[in-house]
């Protein structure tokens, strides 16, 4: 007989929250899947969920009482005790209402109150009709939750209860299980590291109305800040103007110009152990920003005097002591050659080269493909993946470099 594969959730205590979506019936299968992998699962139903599935179903299968009411006379206060004892909390399916309450911190029933007491991994698998999922309010709540480190899964695509076909189906059990396993395996290998990371574009004023900037969204730098925080690092994020919600647990410093960014980063260099320069710093700034709006019939548009901005990364490299320094190379061609040259010229430990013109890799996209080159000339080609995943790969490489070079003096001079 082939050996039985080990149960992936053996010894794990989970809380499964079920809310009032038609997909609530699928939570029964999910509970069984968790239990098959060896988990001990306590289930909490919202009142709306009990309209679709009964507590008795979950009680019988989980072999635990099912909590549904915040005000029921219960000795052990499930809104406190359940999350305290759990290795992870999963909400599946989560309605739009549940996402909104969780994002806003509302606590008007047992599950929403319990969610405010979760300190470990929280995985939310939404299910709703496609139009609702795409609504800006829902997407804003999802972004808020993700910025707090909550793992919100995108729903699956397919036939919906409404008869339409689209995105909105509860993620398959296998996806929820994979996310759970990943969350439980989260390494805390950055504990003790202090990460200084820059993100986003800078804006260089032409006059009080107009500026020079670039298409950077800040997503890569924010993903790195979030990933490092999740792995236990203390993180300072120096960010140019972006539309992203602030990542939780991260010290966020807002800047606008390249000069502001330079000051903010140099002032914090000594504090850091690793610096990642993911910002897209404007290379040029208007020599003099006009103090009043330039009129279009004033003839100014014919000539804009520009001055180069300082290369912040080079300055960081020249002033660092033992910090590991990671740069980016945004290219549209010959990525490897340009990135390798920048690594050398700026005296970096690691450079992340990416082709910003490639499909799925440009500014603003949620995915990225990259080539990592380290100071020893080792090259790692990374296929297209979500920026959050790439962030972890960059952090893996940077952390390895902090370990492999004890005592080497860090000083780079212009030649
Ligand atoms: N960088 C910086 N300060 C600048 C310009 C860039 O610190 N004034 C950093 C970026 O944050 C990135 C790296 O240098 O980590 C490479 O940036 P990139 O724009 O790809 O290259 P540049 O050095 O600006 O060279 P070029 O524009 O000629 O490709």
Rounded to an integer, the average pLDDT of 301-329 is: 94
Instruction: Please give the pLDDT value at position 295.
Output: 86
Residues assigned a catalytic role: 214
Asked if 218 and 250 count as a contact pair (C-beta separation under 8 A), the reply is: no
Binding site membership of 279 for ligand 1 (Cβ less than 6 Å): yes
Tokens of residue 380, six digits: 């790692």
Binding site membership of 199 for ligand 1 (Cβ less than 6 Å): no
User: What's the pTM?
Assistant: 0.71
Asked if 282 and 201 count as a contact pair (C-beta separation under 8 A), the reply is: yes
Q: Which three-class secondary structure state does DSSP give residue 25?
A: helix
Instruction: Please give the pLDDT value at position 30.
Output: 98
The Cα angle at residue 408 between residues 406 and 409, in degrees rounded to 5? 135
pLDDT at 98 over 90: yes
> How far apart, in whole angstroms, are the C-alpha atoms of residue 193 and residue 402?
10
Q: Which residue lies with its CA nearest to atom 8 of ligand 1?
A: 311
Query: Measured in angstroms, how far is the CA atom of residue 363 from the centroid of ligand 1?
Result: 15
Q: Which three-class secondary structure state does DSSP give residue 196?
A: strand
pLDDT at 117 over 60: yes
Question: What residue segments make up the domains of the chain, in order of their start?
Answer: 13-185, 194-404
Instruction: Please give the pLDDT value at position 414.
Output: 33
Binding site membership of 328 for ligand 1 (Cβ less than 6 Å): yes
Instruction: Please give the pLDDT value at position 73.
Output: 60
Atom number of ligand 1 nearest to Cα 329: 20
pLDDT above 70 coverage of the chain, percent = 96
Q: Which residue lies with its CA nearest to atom 4 of ligand 1?
A: 311
pLDDT at 227 over 60: yes
Binding site membership of 327 for ligand 1 (Cβ less than 6 Å): yes
> How far apart, in whole angstroms, are the C-alpha atoms of residue 235 and residue 224?
10
**353 conformational bin, left if phi > 0, alpha if psi -120 to 50, beta if neither:** beta
> How far apart, in whole angstroms, are the C-alpha atoms of residue 309 and residue 281?
8
CATH 3.40.50.1950 is the classification of domain 13-185: yes
| In this structure, CATH architecture of domain 194-404 | 3-Layer(aba) Sandwich (3.40)
Query: Measured in angstroms, how far is the CA atom of residue 354 from the centroid of ligand 1?
Result: 13
pLDDT at 410 over 60: no
Binding site membership of 33 for ligand 1 (Cβ less than 6 Å): no
Query: Measured in angstroms, how far is the CA atom of residue 164 from the centroid of ligand 1?
Result: 47
Q: Which tops the pLDDT comparison, 247 or 396?
A: 396
- State how far the alpha carbon of 324 is from the alpha carbons of 4, 202, 239, 244, 272, in Å: 44, 23, 20, 26, 9
Q: Which three-class secondary structure state does DSSP give residue 74?
A: coil
Instruction: Please give the pLDDT value at position 138.
Output: 97
Atom number of ligand 1 nearest to Cα 283: 8
> How far apart, in whole angstroms, are the C-alpha atoms of residue 114 and residue 305?
59
- State how far the alpha carbon of 18 is from the alpha carbons of 48, 49, 101, 214, 230, in Å: 9, 6, 14, 44, 26
Q: Which residues contact 329 (CB under 8 A, 6 or more apart)?
A: 335, 338, 339, 342, 343, 351, 352, 353, 354
**Cα radius of gyration rounded to whole Å, the chain:** 25
Residue 129: closest CA among 81, 95, 104, 179: 95
Which residue bears the tokens 């989970």? 14
Instruction: Please give the pLDDT value at position 359.
Output: 85
Residue 82: closest CA among 153, 6, 16, 154: 16
pLDDT at 253 over 90: yes
């Amino acid at each position: 007989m082939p050996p039985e594969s080990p149960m992936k959730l053996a010894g794990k205590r989970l809380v499964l929250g079920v809310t009032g979506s038609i997909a609530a019936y699928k939570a029964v299968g999910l509970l069984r899947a968790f239990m098959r992998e060896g988990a001990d699962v306590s289930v909490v139903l919202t009142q709306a969920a009990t309209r679709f599935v009964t507590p008795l179903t979950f009680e019988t299968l989980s072999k635990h009482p099912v909590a549904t009411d915040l005000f029921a006379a219960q000795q052990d206060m499930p809104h406190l005790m359940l999350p305290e004892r759990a290795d992870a909390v999963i909400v599946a399916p989560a309605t739009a209402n549940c996402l909104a309450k969780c994002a806003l911190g509302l606590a008007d029933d047992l599950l929403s109150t319990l969610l405010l007491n979760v300190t470990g991994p929280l995985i939310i698998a939404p299910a709703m009709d496609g139009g609702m999922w795409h609504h800006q309010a829902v997407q804003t709540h999802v972004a808020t939750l993700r910025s707090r480190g909550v793992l919100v899964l995108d729903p699956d695509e397919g036939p919906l209860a409404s008869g339409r076909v689209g995105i909105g189906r509860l993620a398959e059990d296998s996806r929820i299980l994979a996310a759970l396993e990943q969350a439980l395996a989260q390494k805390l290998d950055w504990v003790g590291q202090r990460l200084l990371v820059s993100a986003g574009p800078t804006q260089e004023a032409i006059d009080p109305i107009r500026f020079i900037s670039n298409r950077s969204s800040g997503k890569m730098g924010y993903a790195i800040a979030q990933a490092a925080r999740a792995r236990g690092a203390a993180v300072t994020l120096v960010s140019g103007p972006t539309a992203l919600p602030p990542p939780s647990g991260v010290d966020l410093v807002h800047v606008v110009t390249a000069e502001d960014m330079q000051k903010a980063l140099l002032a914090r260099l000594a504090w850091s152990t690793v610096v990642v320069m993911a910002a897209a710093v404007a290379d040029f700034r208007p020599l003099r920003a006009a103090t009043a709006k330039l009129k279009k019939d004033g003839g100014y548009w014919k000539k804009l005097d520009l001055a180069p901005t300082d290369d912040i990364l080079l300055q960081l490299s020249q002033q660092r002591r033992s910090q590991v320094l990671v740069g980016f190379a945004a290219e549209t061609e010959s990525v490897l050659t340009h990135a390798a040259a920048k690594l050398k010229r700026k005296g970096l430990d690691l450079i992340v080269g990416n082709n910003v013109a490639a499909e799925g890799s440009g500014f603003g996209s949620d995915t990225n493909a990259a080539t990592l080159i380290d100071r020893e000339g080792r090259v790692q080609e990374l296929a297209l993946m979500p920026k959050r995943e790439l962030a972890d790969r960059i952090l893996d490489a940077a952390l390895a470099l902090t370990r492999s070079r004890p005592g080497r003096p860090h000083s780079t001079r212009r030649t």
